[in-house]
Structure 1
Amino acid sequence: MFTTQQLLRFSILLLISYASYASDPTIVPEAASGFNKSPAVTAKSAMAVTANPYATKAAQKILAQGGSAVDAGIAAQLVLGLVEPQSSGIGGGAFMLFWDAQRKQLSSWDGRETAPQAINERHFLHTDGSAMGFFEAVIGGHSVGVPGVVAMLDAAHRQFGELPWSTLFTPAIELAETGFVISPRLHTLLKEMPKVAVNPAISSYFFNAAGKPKAVGDLLQNPAYAATLRKLAQDGGKAFYHGDIAKNMVAAVANDPNRAGSLSLSDLANYHAIQRPAVCAPYREYQVCGAPPPSSGGTTVLAILGMIEAIERQRGALRGVDFIHTFIEASRLAFADRNRYIADPDFVTVPTAGLVERHYLKSRAALIKPNRRLATVVAGKPVGAPAVVDSSSPELPSTSHFSIVDADGNVLSMTTSIETAFGSRVFVGGFLLNNQLSDFSFSPAEKDGSKIANRIQAGKRPRSSMSPIIVFKDGSPVLAIGSPGGARIIDYVAGSLYRVLGQGEAIDTAIASGHIIAMGDLVELEAGRFDRDVIKQLQKRGHPVKESDQTSGLHGILIKESGLEGAADPRREGQALGY
């Protein structure tokens, strides 16, 4: 049995080995950190499931005070930025789905970062036209996009908040001032992730005088973060994008000693979150809804489920190796479409509806052979498809997901990220800034000059794989779920949805089940979770199976007539609480 440190070192070695391929979406995400028991939790009225017990308790406290799911989500995000700083925070971005129970209305919120206005398509290219290496591009202000999560949460609170904005900051401010206990996961990531202590500010906060990460169980205080939050609590979300906080971010990016960036005060002042229609499609008797582009999560998850359903309608229920084979092939086909078409819809034409249309998915499913791997997979031509070329991006996110249901039946599903673990390593005002610009394709065009849809452009939002999901049955929500994990998020979420909706598994069982990952030529099965006979049978069908540790952080709530049932992913340190 491998130790947590051994598992993480293996993941880091893989990360470094892929780092020279800056456009490869299969790069290993944050890092594995063990597997813990995490049984389902039930509640009658309200529930929060987040990636850290501190954040879950903060969300539950807000819910108990009569706060809405959005209120609780804001409190959770602010605490996560303190206690799980490697994964998300106010220096990053997010996608969120929210169900308004009173109005019976679903809204989708895009708080994705944007590229600064001074950026051009050669941002990640050397002078000779070659693409930068991954860490060469990631570390420093050069990779920082305009943060969007504060603007998104501020806008959502204006519509759906119940408690005063300032009240939602109290748990995080108090915790930042009194201190929180460093968790095993945070300590391990500080110890094993490359190039964390590259700036004096981040080094003095996370590391001791000897240059070693502060120990598990140490109390870590963050008065600078408390001061930042007090300013936001008093003056509102606009204070993040104007005034001293904005000036300090711009200065930190411009003066970064690793690789300076071009974030400006006007970039921050002009940022706005966007409400877009959620992307929804039927699956069995359910309606599954996800975030639309520039997230690729919604369309790709729905495409996988739609192809599997089409095959089961034709061939009957899939079990065992037959299901794994079909899931692999459906995922490969869905990712081919993702890589071809998904980008910021404000810059390129994205055939969102066509990608999840039932007849189109049936035609894609017809390509899947029952006993043989497809030699190659290429993008299809859904209705509305433009003439673009395939692209990929590094997408090594350190991300977090939380699901919340309040006492009025409102539902929130939110995935939030600063991209790679510890983001750009730019630490200012007690929080880390993202490196989300590296989610763009490093190369703007193919050798023949054909433009790549996900190329970097000023003001553009990079493609994401974040997949917050809300599932409906007969017009009412029945499940909220999502996960971190880079491009693997899509298969994590699709697999769990299939197990809950298609197989009727309990939510904790579905979340803990072994993961199946398939993107292009890559096929991964979660290490130690599948029988050798299964692997041999898949190999006979032509699949180049590799066993790998997986780093999902699935957090979901099943909504039943009898109450709520929530579960946190045993691969991380999350918690579900309710009342």
Structure 2
Amino acid sequence: MMLTRKCWKLAPLSLAAILLASCGSGSGGDDDTDDPITSNDLVVDNDPTSCTVRGDGNSSIVVGSGVAGDPAAPEAASGYRVGLTAKNSNSYMAVANTPLAVKAGCDILKAGGSAVDAAVAMQAVLGLVEPQSSTIAGSAFMMYYDAKTKEVVAYDGRETAPAAATGYYLRRQDQADAQSPAPVPSARRSGRAIGVPGVLRMLEMAQQEHGKLPWNSLFDYGVQLSTDGFQIPGRLGAAIQSNAAGLALDGNAMATYFHEDGTPRATGEIMTNLPYAKTLKAIAEQGADALHTGEIAEAIIAKAAQAVGDDAGKTPITPSLMTMSDLANYQPKKRDAVCVNYRATYHVCSMSPPSSGGIAIAQSLGILGQFDLSQYGPLTPSNEGGVPSVMGVHLVSEAERLAYADRDKYVADTDFIPLPGKGFSTMLDLGYLTQRANLIDMNASMGTAQAGNLGDVPLGVDKTVEHGTTHLSVVDAYGNVVSMTTTVESSMGSFHMVDGFLLTNQLTDFSADPVDDNGTPIANRVAPGKRPRSTMAPTLVFRGDQPGDFVMATGSPGGGSIIQYVVKTVVGALDWGLDAQQATSLVVFGASNSPRTSVDHSNTLLDLTALVDGLKAKGHTVSTGAQSSGVATIMRVTVDGKTMLQGGADPRREGIVLGDGAL
């Protein structure tokens, strides 16, 4: 059976039909290149227990079935799920922050799909069941490892500012008038927060290059859930409740997330989203063009341009200046990954600018490489990763302070603002990072670090705070790996809703002011077509000094704290020998560039008294407030002499691990 790469005009296919037909690599696009494959190229798993979870008596439970033990059945939010253990599988695995998205991805892997195919299906479901964190009209960064070529590619699907935006887009209603009032009702709730979306264009690009299944088969589960209904997860239920005032200005959002009497839909209720099903069908048929041209695009522009709310009081809303041309002209990008060798044993690759997360993680690890962290591991690691040591937290936090200082000053969209010196090589130079490491006092916290001297770069410091995101990690049966962080920005984005999906407030990740108090330009200022700085840091780890021997895929949501969440997970696995779940569950700790050091106490069964007292003795101001990490980790490990995949899902969110066989 011979098939070519041109697949757009196929009728929508079910996963069962995929076993009879496939479009091979590049299946998502209009490429007429004749690249024949056979259905035998697909690695299809016929084990009926795969992509299920283990129930009582070793039975397998289908995610979303609603039976006892179904992980998609919402429970009262505890803040931390005690007792999670690492899950092992032989060939493929998916991990994300909500069970239904994991099922979507795992079913694609089971049908022979690639890691990118699975990511597309997972994104479609995330926009439905986790809209407080993700949307198909949002942005994402993806790190992709190609097992055949041994190459790592960073895919950039970050939103852009409209062509009409200037440095005062978020600060003034009339950008040219210095006396003009600020956008109303706030920059976040106004149309000015809404960026030109990029995630679908990015996924389309990656799937054209690395997909194995037809694009139009990847949305089936999302369509099914939005049509037949799903139980509202706990975090979504809480987000609807807490964001009621912002959502109330949008009639579409009210119709979707509230009852007719105006009361919010609650955790555990069955809800549908028929407009979303219609949108996914259009995307399945037309590709990302469905969102960037035509009727849906027109609806996006009209919604973003809304000047008054749908509430009874017709609350004024400052409109966006985004146009149909902005949507049509959006281009995703492939970028060089930010990679660093760690302890002459590992090669760590993460996201490049406009994300600051990859550089900060690489700098943190480069600094930490000057210290023997192995002797400062957590106590009783078998207990949820254990209690971190005082010195372990101290060294990691100090390294992060130094990395955040450089990040706040130097990093933005490098298409507009170049990195200092020679770019990555300057910021990751071993000599420079050794100098930075020498600033760390083993006995006292530096409190607030100063950015390193990297030359005459007149840039003001930007401490703009980021917010909500979600993360997924996938390994397919072919050995390819995806680590992808995707976002709507703040919980429920800008509250503008169209055709079943929310629009982001991503542009508030820019500095609202183009200059600092001294009039010095800020690197992360708004400019037309520019991408706001992010901290999203999907990360891949390999053994050796280059990609090839895959060790780990991880990442996390968490806004500006993502750097800390990823670093503690990587250090936990590589330096302290924790398994995938222990490293993921490990107490979240770290610091941005301030005197405060965070030590998450979500797991109240752990006694952190000695840790907190020890840090205070070193001059740290310690916060033990709960952290909203959502780490999703997959590692390649050896179990009883057999190489396997091992996954861990963050106990602070609702995620699970699925793979071949019941896990």
TM-score normalized with structure 2 length: 0.80
> Secondary structure in 2 aligned to 1:225?
helix
1:291 is aligned, of 326, 337, 351, to 351
Residue among 197, 219, 223 paired with 1:173:
223
Asked whether the 8 Å contact 2:145–2:480 carries over to 1, the reply is: yes
Q: Which amino acid aligns with 1:495?
A: K
Partner residue of 2:148 out of 95, 99, 102? 102
Matched residue, 1:378: 450
- Please provide the CA RMSD for this pair: 1.8
Name the aligned partner's letter for residue 437 of structure 1. L
Query: For residue 263 of structure 1, what is the aligned residue in structure 2?
Result: 322
CA shift at 1:215, angstroms? 2.0
Identity within the alignment, %: 40
1:477 aligns with 2:550: yes
Question: 1:140, 1:425 within 8 Å by CA — same for their partners in 2?
Answer: no
Q: Equivalent residue for 1:358? A: 430
Tell me the residue number matched to 1:243: 294
Contact 2:239–2:492, Cα closer than 8 Å, also in 1:
no
Does residue 325 of structure 1 match 2:394?
Answer: yes
SS in 2 for 1:339: helix
Q: In 2, Cα distance between the equivalents of 1:227 and 1:283?
A: 47
How many angstroms apart in 1 are the aligned matches of 2:107 and 2:448? 51
* d(CA) in 2 for partners of 1:552, 1:138: 23
Distance in 2, Cα, partners of 1:502 & 1:524: 20
Mapped to 2, the partners of 1:47 and 1:496 lie a distance apart of: 18
- The answer for the alignment partner of 1:36 in structure 2 is 81
Match of residue 646 from structure 2: 565
SS of equivalent residue, structure 2 residue 611 = helix
Measure, in 2, the Cα distance between the counterparts of 1:218 and 1:419: 25
Aligned residue number for residue 113 of structure 2: 67
Q: What's the counterpart of residue 212 of structure 1?
A: 263
Give deviations 1:3-36, integer Å, cap 9, x for gaps: xxxxxxxxxxxxxxxxxxxxxxxxxxxxx96111
Asked if 2 retains the 8 angstrom alpha-carbon contact of 1:50 and 1:575, the reply is yes
Change (3 A) 1:123 1:303: same
Return the letter of the residue paired with 1:442.
Answer: A
User: How far is the alpha carbon of 1:134 from its aligned partner?
Assistant: 11
Runs of at least 5 residues in structure 1 that lack an aligned partner in the other structure: 1-31
Shift of 1:217: 1.9
> Equivalent residue for 1:160?
210
Higher helix fraction: Structure 1 or Structure 2?
A: 1
**Match for residue 658 of structure 2?**
577
- The CA deviation at 1:262 is 1.2
Q: State yes or no: 1:509 paired with 2:509.
A: no
SS in 1 for 2:144: strand
Q: Secondary structure in 1 aligned to 2:376?
A: coil
Q: Which moved more, 1:218-227 or 1:127-136?
A: 127-136
Residue 442 in structure 1 maps to residue 512 in structure 2: yes
Aligned partner of 1:389 in structure 2 is 460
- Other-structure match for 2:481: 411
In the alignment, which residue of structure 1 is the partner of 2:51? none
> Alignment partner of 2:397: what SS?
helix
Question: What is residue 301 of structure 1 aligned with on the other side?
Answer: 361
1:24 is matched with: none
Equivalent position amino acid for 1:147 in 2? P
Alpha-carbon distance between aligned partners in 1 of 2:289 and 2:89, rounded to the nearest angstrom? 36
Q: Equivalent residues in 2 for 1:13-162 (5 A)?
A: 34-37=79-82, 38-126=84-172, 136-162=186-212
Aligned counterparts of 1:376 and 1:417: Cα–Cα separation in 2: 29
Q: Given the alignment, which residue of 370, 377, 391 partners 1:310?
A: 370
Contact 1:134 1:394 in 2 (8 A): no
**TM-superposition CA deviations, 1:60-88 (whole Å, max 9, x none):** 11111110000000000000111111110
- Cα offset for 1:329? 1.0
Deviation at 1:516, TM superposition (A): 1.1
Counterpart of 1:295 in structure 2: which amino acid?
S
Q: Number of aligned residue pairs: give it.
A: 544
Q: What is the match of residue 202 of structure 1?
A: 253
User: Which residue matches 2:275?
Assistant: 224
Greater mean deviation of Cα atoms: 531-540 or 406-415 = 531-540
Q: 1:543 to 1:129 in 2, by over 3 A?
A: farther
CA contact (8 A) 1:281 1:357 kept: no
Corresponding position of 2:570: 497
Amino acid at match of 2:480: N
State the SS of the aligned residue for 1:232: helix
SS in 2 for 1:519: coil
- Alignment equivalent of 1:549, drawn from 603, 615, 626: 626
Structure 1 residue identity aligned to 2:403: A
Structure 1 contact 401–482 (Cα < 8 Å) conserved: yes
- Per the alignment, residue 28 of structure 1 pairs with none
Aligned to 1:456: 526
Shift of the alpha carbon at 1:209? 2.5
Pairwise CA distance, 1:312: 2.4
CA distance in 2, matches of 1:375, 1:573: 34
Assess, with a 3 A threshold, how the Cα gap between structure 1 residues 422 and 36 changes in structure 2: closer, same or farther: same
Give the partner amino acid of 2:112.
G
Match of 1:272 in 2: 331
Say which of 399, 405, 409 aligns to 1:336. 405
Separation (CA, whole Å) in 1 of partners of 2:425 and 2:555:
21
Asked if the contact 1:131–1:443 (Cα under 8 Å) also holds between the matched residues in 2, the reply is: no
Q: 1:131 to 1:71 in 2, by over 3 A?
A: farther
Shift of 1:375: 4.9
- Structure 2 distance, partners of 1:571, 1:331, is 22
User: What does residue 468 of structure 1 align with?
Assistant: 538
In 2, Cα distance between equivalents of 1:536 and 1:134? 45
* Partner residue of 2:612 out of 508, 532, 535: 535
CA apart distance, 1:146: 0.3
Q: Is the 8 A contact 2:94 2:658 kept in 1?
A: yes
Residues 347-391 of structure 1, C-alpha deviations (whole Å, 9 max, x = no match): 011133322222211110000001012254100034x77332211
| Partner AA of 2:323 in structure 1 | S
Mark the structure with the bigger radius of gyration. Answer: 2
Displacement of 1:416: 0.2
Q: How far apart in 1 are the matches of 2:647 and 2:182?
A: 42
Aligned-residue offset at 1:208 = 1.3
SS of 1:275 mapped into structure 2: strand
Give the whole-Å Cα distance in 1 for the aligned partners of 2:148 and 2:302: 44
Instruction: Tell me the CA shift for residue 91 of structure 1.
Output: 1.1
Unaligned ranges ≥5, structure 2: 1-76, 309-316, 378-388
- The amino acid of 1:387's aligned partner reads P
C-alpha deviation, 1:511, in angstroms: 1.0
Q: Is the 8 A contact 2:185 2:318 kept in 1?
A: no
Secondary structure at the residue paired with 1:174?
helix
- The alpha carbon displacement at 1:132 in A equals 5.4
Contact 2:464–2:510 (CA under 8 A) maintained in structure 1: yes
Other structure's SS at 1:477 match: strand
Give the partner amino acid of 2:98: N
Distance 1:197 1:187 in 2: 15
Amino acid paired to 1:551: S
1:165 deviates by 0.4
Question: For 1:136, what is the secondary structure of its paired residue?
Answer: coil
SS in 2 for 1:89: coil
88-97 or 467-476: which moved more? 467-476
